[in-house]
Structure 1
Amino acid sequence: MSGAVRFEAEAEDGVEAEGGVGRVGVATAPVHHGEILQGVFPHRGRPTRGLVTLPCTVHTTRASFVPVRGGELTVSPARKTKALRAARLAVEACVPPGRAPVGGHLELSGDVPLRRGFGSSTSDVLAAVLAVRDALAGPLSREEIARIAVRAETASDSLMFDGSTVLFAQREGEVIEDFGRRMPAVRVLGFGARPEDGGGGVDTLALPPAAYDGTERARFAELHAMLREAVRTGDAALLGAVASASTDINQRHLPIPRLDGLRAVARETGALGIQAAHSGDIAGLLYDPADPDAEARTARAGRLLHHIGIHEQWTFTTGD
């Protein structure tokens, strides 16, 4: 949404909320599938943690926001405290100065697993902010939404930048580089990379930020350039190479069990690379969707994963 809209105007196709404060706002937010690249990159003259996420269509978060006069704001389920903080910040940003306080009720629903690397918190936060924006007709840009997300959850993913590929500073809420277009499409065979944990995920709040050494930091500069070229040229194979290299670096910080076996499956089935959530327990084998054998390769890889004890699997294609 761009441009300012009169705050109390009733949307022609909306449902007016209590007291004419706005309309009932509704929104959906996507998830991601971990990262293609994560590390440390130069930004504003200093090394800054950044990441490039892999879009995912497997799960969705839905939100509705009913605005009411008064300052109280509630959320359901009550445990969604990050989304509640984000909604409060979004209301503050959308209500013009001098207006009476606005509260309301935020309701979230969806099927996003927690602590696994799908970006469940950011999906909640983004859906909440978009629902508030829809209800109050606020002119929130993607950049403003990113700053709200970081304030609400300390570190955020880049789900709000869905129209392009961005290298995103997750703790600052700023874009380090916008590559100007979507990343090349890939077919993803996703899976739970730590089956012995029973899909319980990773406690990201307890996970210390990775301490990268000088060799790794130099490698990030190379991977940054490779990723820029992959996006510019639509080179899915180069994208897969970046993902594999980033996964290898992350192995020292949050290791994936059976990585040697995963590499063997990737080689045997002609995968473009191995991609992982750098603070979760999911990973994926990447294939070229333009390859006429992509479906057969994916199916064979799924069988081979079963043979090495990885049974939780799903597939999707980015760009669908």
Structure 2
Amino acid sequence: MRAAICSEYGEPEVVRIDEIASPSLEPGHVRVRVGAAAVNFPDVLVVADKYQISVPTPFVPGSEFAGLVEEVADDVGDLAVGDRVSGTGIVGAFAEEIAAKAVSLRRIPDGVDDHTAAAFGVAHRTAYHTLRSVARIRPGETLVVLGAGGGVGLAAVQLGAVLGATVVAVASSADKLEVAASYGAKQLVDHRAGELRALLKDVAREGADVVVDPVGGDLSEPALRSLRRGGRFITVGYASGTIPRIPLNLVLVKGIRIQGFQFQDLDPDEFRRNENELVDLLVSGRAVPHIGAIYSLDDAVGALRLVGDGQAIGKVVIDLQQA
């Protein structure tokens, strides 16, 4: 099969396309013919060996995929050849085939194509669980979303609006903000236009209730300062490459709560509720990923570079059926 291979750590350009053997199939696993794979910022970090988990080389990058089950091993439950599934992992998605644990896969609802299914999982699940179970956003609250043009950020904009929040989108270009507006953002802030705290005060004079931050870096502190007393600041990731240092006196003086998001920290009952609600939103069309670019496997480097440079709008997808 053809696959993207990372044989040494570095920038996206170290990745090469080559023919390799199909992955072996162990008990509890199924072989999926990959139709589409989505590119996420952690994929860039894994290739550079800068992620929180180091993957030994050589490996196939890619953490999110959708496709068709073409072979099953023992102990895979009710999954069968011909089922359409999506899944996530650390690596392995940028290939024509992937061997995945059956318990990690989700059936793709009827009417949802591979591109949408591949792009929906990581960003929308992260954003929805963050808003529902960590931020506990309520209708009428003001939600500030940093990195609102990226995968998680744009999903948070869309889902925040669905949940009834007044969404303030913060991004680095007019193009990104235009897309954020189309997904429900009521206020648009280009953080390059001035000091972010002042810009946010202009659009949320009473202060924000919630900040969702998948970016980190220099934007975090001024966004935190924009919160009203008792506001909630949710840190989701550090796409800027810089982990911010927050003065704790701000937390004391303003009575702010700072929380982090991790899937494993969620209450199991809330997790199931959120997952069911997300499927309903996807099937109904109320929550769908914005796919800003589609690449072929041969141009996987270009897809990784676009995401790594922060130029992607929404999700970037690799079409494994595209020549």
TM > 0.5: no
TM-score range, shorter chain: under 0.3
Higher relative contact order (CA 8 A, sep 6+): 1
TM-score computed with the length of structure 2 as normaliser = 0.25
TM-score computed with the length of structure 1 as normaliser = 0.26
